[in-house]
Structure 1
Amino acid sequence: MGYGIGLSGLKSASEAIDVTSNNISNAQTIGYKSGEYVFSDQFFKAQDPQSLDRAGMGSYRMSIRRTGGYGTVVNSQNPLDMAITGPGMFMLAKQVDGTVPTENPTKFQFTRNGQFAVDNQNRIVNENGMYLVGYPADASGTIISSAKSVLVLDREPLAQTPTRNSTLELNLDDRVDPKTGNVFSPTDPTTYSQATSQTVYDDKGFAHTLSVFYKKVSSQLLTISADAVGTAAGTNFTFSPTQTIDPSISTVDSYNRPPGEQFNKIASTAVALGAGTASTESIYEATLTPISGAANTVGTVYNLRLRDGTNLTLTQTVAGTGSVKAQYTVNVDRFEVFATMDGNPVTANASNAPSISPVITTTDGTSAGLGSRETASVLFKDLSAGQSLTMAGLTFTAGASGATSAQVAAAFQNIHNGDSFSTINTANSPAGGTFTSGLASGWTTLTTTAPGGSTLVFSSTTATGNVTNLTSVLNPVTGGTSAASVLIEGSPVAEQQALGVVGFVAGKNIDSLSKDSFGNPQFATRFQIDASRGTGSGYGQTLNGGAVQLTIEANGSTAYSSAGQTYTNTQDGSATAQLASYNVDSSGRLVAQYDNGQSVVKGQLILAYFNNLEGLIPNGNNTYEASSASGDPLLSFPGDGTLGAIRSKAVEQSNVDLTEELVRLMVLQRQYSAVSQATKVMAATLIDDAINIGR
């Protein structure tokens, strides 16, 4: 038996030397895990198993254990090289159909070697041609974790995206003087207070320059109401940001707006967020403190402190009673907003029909019997509900159903110089609306309109030549292709249509005052831009005829008494973009970078985790297969749970410690020599015994 003991020792020592030699040979193999030879002793089972004096029968290999220690992560120049900084193994497929692995789940192979490249179809493979398996992503970059796919470097360009949403938030310097009285012109800096620009993209992917101008106009008083009746005290208040400007204010014309301004509203840009179309904003949990005067008395000045710390100065205008809510006013600074696209004016809806302003054709000295007096042929247009038209000093306002062009023409028939609006209402009883103000001045109309017609002739009452042309003023102005009429020193002047007007109190956007219990604004400040009419229109014109339709949000804009500055200038459009590069982030997402700065997730690699790494079957080529001993792989993405993160442009070196392996090799060499001597002694003894038996 002693001879067999020596042979088993020689065999196990030889195998251990093989394992150590293999470790040394793979000291530079990326992702290699060193093997450890596990010796085991043997006992002769035929002897008494209870005997403590049994002699062993030598040694044998119990197993070759793979150590799970991690190698050093070093940088690489290949952007597709990856290292796992923790537990996990890359998942590889030997066969695919397009990008779908066709392997039996038990036949996938696994590795820690992260050296990858691409094949002739841009699929990511290792150096042996095996495919890296991951989760695919849809067109929006959302990972589809219910399917497996080979990761592919998609070279297709990123399609153009038209701008749909823009954010322009800035501080408008409130120290500037109002520009009321100056007709806005984008080429004249004296007609606006501040400007900014943004590059936007049309549906064809072409870039356009959107310029936005802010014209400070007159400050106005916003009415705020207490939430409860009978008292000035309280914590909740309401207001409407689109309330009409108080017509009793001095310098306000007959359209309830200051001269030189298009809008008769405090603000016109508020949009209710969430469900509903409410136009009333609410202020919650505010503190109202009298500054001067008695509480709940008209004229008393208060400080209203909002829960975010903003302080508003209010003046009481209505005392609260048992049935009346107290009311206050606060001064609102206002800015009209204009825009141009590539230098051409744009408005909120360029696809509207042309302006409903009447078409006026004047002629000097052709009226029979009137000498050199002027006549004007007027083609009226329909009016929308509540819309007003002023001509010859009289203002006609359409009713709740609007007024047809024929009804408007009929209303202006048989008017004589000096007629008041109330006299005409009594005499004519116009259909479609009523005359609401004014005194006929300088013109007389004749009944020249055919029944149901829309044309009327005005005759001048001034018996001189060069009579001033008849003018018309609409309020509000609608239609996307017409300038608006504003009054400058009492005369109507054409001005580019504004997108809207935004108001500020204490420097804060009034649309940001109404907030929920989480501090989120309940209203948004939005402007609409429409440049879809192409090159054939004065409004909405783009250089190449592409359509641009977008919404600008300006919720975070302010109007502090400080230098103008831009807070946010972003938009969601882009031109066609070419692929610039790929990278893999720490969670294993394959991200495509494009030359316009955008990035899109194209997939996410899968990492596998085994409960028993020693149970994996080594295949060579730095790969392993699962076995019943290792158990099925647990699959997820890098960084999930106990799985390690990915470090790109890096690889994990072998975990072989050369010094340790060389020392172990010397020890095994001495062991082998010693066992050889023992075996030699046993062999010599057997020979001597055989010789002695033969004597």
Structure 2
Amino acid sequence: MSFNIGLSGLYAANKQLDVTGNNIANVATTGFKSSRAEFADAYSASKLGVGSKTVGNGVTLAAVSQQFGQGDVNNTGNVLDMGIQGQGFFVLSDNGSLSYTRAGAFQTNKDNYVVTADGIRLQGYAADSTGKIAKGVLTDLKIDTSALAPKSTTLIDQGINLNSSASPIPLTKPDPSNPAATIPNAPFNPTDESTYTKSFPTKVYDSQGNEHVMEQYYRKTDTNEWTMYTLVDGRNPYDPASATPLTGTMSFNSDGSIKAMSTSAAGVPTTPPGQYEFSVANNTFTMKGWIPAVYNKTTNTWGPNGSSGNPDGMRLSMNSTTSYNTETARMSQSQDGYATGILSSLSIDSTGVMFASFSNQQSRAIGQVAIASFANEQGLEQMGGTRWKETFASGIPGIDAPTTGTLGAIKSNALEASNVNLTNELVELIKAQSNYQANAKTISTQSTIMQTIIQMT
């Protein structure tokens, strides 16, 4: 019996050496989780239980348990390298078969899917064309490298202050020959700065993503009254052959807020009915049906460029426009149009949302990484390749976006290192070796005793 006890000790020490050696071998493996050999003593027993004077039968290997402690997350500089700070696993799909990993070294394949080094696809949530994440259904994450389609300008929102103390440039002046009468003052001329107070250019885009410049000229015509002249590329927005601007007027209350706004019908086509419009409502000018223009160098003339503006109109919100006693200036501006964009960079935030940035200064979400958690991580089945599979013991995975509930956060440009503590493992190696030698000694001693007994007979 003593031989069997010693043999079980040798077996246990050998398993401890195997586990420790495997940990040491994987000290540099990304996302590796160390293992621990767990042992239990063995006793022989009958139906009535174990006697009070029973000697043990040795030791048995109870389990080799994974230690899912956090490994160091170190920067790599590769945007598709991801580490999980906290609880959770990346979800991978191999033709529909799901597995789970902490190793976040990803890349793209020839079809632009995000995959591991051996081609298994990372799972997450897709985004629609507007960048809205559609949570609920897992899909293969893909980096869409196609061009971002252009968007015509529909709304311009700018905050302008028109100096209430600026010198007026009246539309009329006294008639020198008849002081009781008036005659037209110098008409607006975009090339003559004396005919307006200030101008503000704004980039706008047509339906093909072509850039145009909408120039607005502000002329203070009386106390708390201003006239706005609008040209696009220096031309009438409805007639590229004409340089006659669209005209709008604004009056202000004594506190500097807008009192009233109006437009002139001059320069706005009337046919076909409803197609063209320059109107104002809710402190917003609407220029409907504008015709983007292009200059023909051969004929030295202006004409349509073949694209169109937004059919619903390009709106200019003046809700932030004021008239205070300070410099005439544009304090803020935004417009919602843009040209065609080419993918220029990718970033991933802590919630796993993948943002694509384009050459037209636009950015949008193109997907979100999903991570999974288990009620019993120890119940996961190891597959190799630093991956695990779900089992009955682990329970079903809870899959959601990073930072949801107890799920950890994503750190991009970084990888989680192995959680193996090399110093501890080397100490365990020494202990396992000592255990092996001690158990071998018990067998050697038992052998000596047996020889003594045999010699006595």
Q: With structure 1 as the length reference, what TM-score do the two structures score?
A: 0.57
Deviations 1:243-278 (A, max 9, x none): xxxxxxxxxxxxxxxxxxxxxxxxxxxxxxxxxxxx
SS of the aligned residue for 2:446 comes to helix
The structure 2 residue matched to 1:532, chosen from 290, 306, 324, is 290
Does structure 1 residue 499 correspond to structure 2 residue 248? yes
Q: How far 1:481 moved relative to its partner?
A: 10
Distance verdict in 2 for CA 1:535–1:3, change over 3 Å: closer
SS at match of 2:283: strand
Give the structure 2 partner of residue 594 of structure 1: 358
Work out the CA distance in 2 between the residues paired with 1:164 and 1:64: 64
Q: How does 1:101-250 map to 2 (within 5 A)?
A: 103=96, 107-181=97-171, 182-219=186-223
Is this contact kept in 2: 1:482–1:497, CA < 8 A?
no
Q: Deviations over 1:356-379 (max 9, x none)?
A: xxxxxxxxxxxxxxxxxxxxxxxx
Letter in 1 for 2:256: G
Q: Deviations over 1:3-60 (max 9, x none)?
A: 1111111111110111111111110001111101111111111396363332211111
Amino acid at match of 1:210: M
Larger radius of gyration: 1
Counterpart in the other structure of 1:544 = 305
Q: In the superposition, relative to structure 1, how do residues 542 and 213 fare at CA in structure 2: closer, same or farther (>3 Å)?
A: farther
Amino acid at match of 1:528: T
Query: Aligned partners of 2:382, 2:294: CA distance in 1, in Å?
Result: 73
Q: Is 1:78–2:68 an aligned residue pair?
A: no
What one-letter code is carried by the residue in structure 2 that aligns with 1:501? Answer: M
Q: Which amino acid aligns with 1:111?
A: T
Deviations 1:112-141 (A, max 9, x none): 000001111111111121110111111111
Aligned CA distance change for structure 1 residues 14 and 334 (closer, same or farther; 3 Å): same
> 1:558-597, aligned counterparts within 5 Å?
558-597=322-361
Distance in 2, matches of 1:497 and 1:49, equals 102
Contact residue 532 and residue 546 of structure 1 kept, 8 A? no
Distance 1:336 1:147, change over 3 A: same
Give the aligned residue type for 2:228.
V
Question: Which structure 2 residues correspond to residues 277-288 of structure 1 after superposition, within 5 A?
Answer: none
Q: Which residue does the alignment assign to 2:232?
A: 341
CA distance in 2, matches of 1:565, 1:557: 10
Kept after mapping to 2: 8 A contact 1:128/1:621: no
> C-alpha displacement at 1:502, in angstroms?
4.6
Residues 341 and 542 in structure 1, CA contact (< 8 A), matched pair in contact too: no
AA aligned opposite 2:335: Q
Q: CA deviation at 1:544?
A: 2.5
Matches of 2:435 and 2:338 in 1, distance apart?
Answer: 72
What letter corresponds to residue 396 of structure 2 in structure 1? D
Cα offset, 1:190, TM superposition: 1.5
Aligned residues: 415
**Under a length normalisation based on structure 2, what TM-score does the superposition of the two structures give?**
0.85
C-alpha distance in structure 2 between counterparts of 1:654 and 1:588, whole Å: 22
What is the alpha-carbon distance in structure 2 between the residues aligned to residue 148 and residue 542 of structure 1?
Answer: 50
Distance in 2 between the 1:500 and 1:547 partners?
27
What does residue 265 of structure 2 align with?
Answer: none
Q: What secondary structure sits across from 1:214 in the alignment?
A: strand
Is 1:42 aligned to residue 42 of structure 2?
A: yes
User: What percent identity do the matched residue pairs reach?
Assistant: 31
Instruction: Choose which of 406, 417, 425 in structure 2 pairs with 1:653.
Output: 417
Cα distance in 1 for partners of 2:217, 2:55 equals 100
- AA aligned to 2:141 is L
Note the C-alpha offset of 1:641.
1.1
CA contact (8 A) 1:209 1:342 kept: yes
Q: Against the structure 1 CA distance between its residues 16 and 344, is the aligned structure 2 distance closer, same or farther, given a 3 Å change threshold? A: same
**Partner amino acid, structure 2, of 1:547:** S
The answer for the alignment partner of 2:299 in structure 1 is none
Deviation at 1:535, TM superposition (A): 5.3
* SS at 2:227 equivalent: strand
Asked whether 1:642 is paired with 2:406, we answer: yes
Mapped partners of 1:207, 1:640: distance in 2: 42
Tell me the CA shift for residue 508 of structure 1: 2.6
Label 1:667 to 1:47 Cα distance change in 2 as closer, same or farther (>3 A).
farther
Q: What is the deviation of 1:688? A: 4.0
CA distance in 2, matches of 1:24, 1:592: 40
Q: Which whole-Å deviations, capped at 9, do the CAs of 1:459-487 have from their partners, x for residues lacking one? A: xxxxxxxxxxxxxxxxxxxxx9999xxxx
Distance 2:416 2:135 in 1: 27
* Structure 2 CA distance for partners of 1:536 and 1:654, relative to 1, 3 Å: closer
Trace 1:403-418 onto structure 2 (pairs within 5 A).
none
The equivalent residue for 2:428 is: 664
**SS of aligned partner of 1:154:** coil
Does structure 1 residue 625 correspond to structure 2 residue 386?
Answer: no
Asked whether the equivalents of residues 170 and 220 of structure 2 are also in contact (C-alpha less than 8 Å), the reply is yes
CA distance in 2, matches of 1:669, 1:195: 86
Deviation string for 1:131-152 (max 9, x for gaps)? 1011111111111123221111
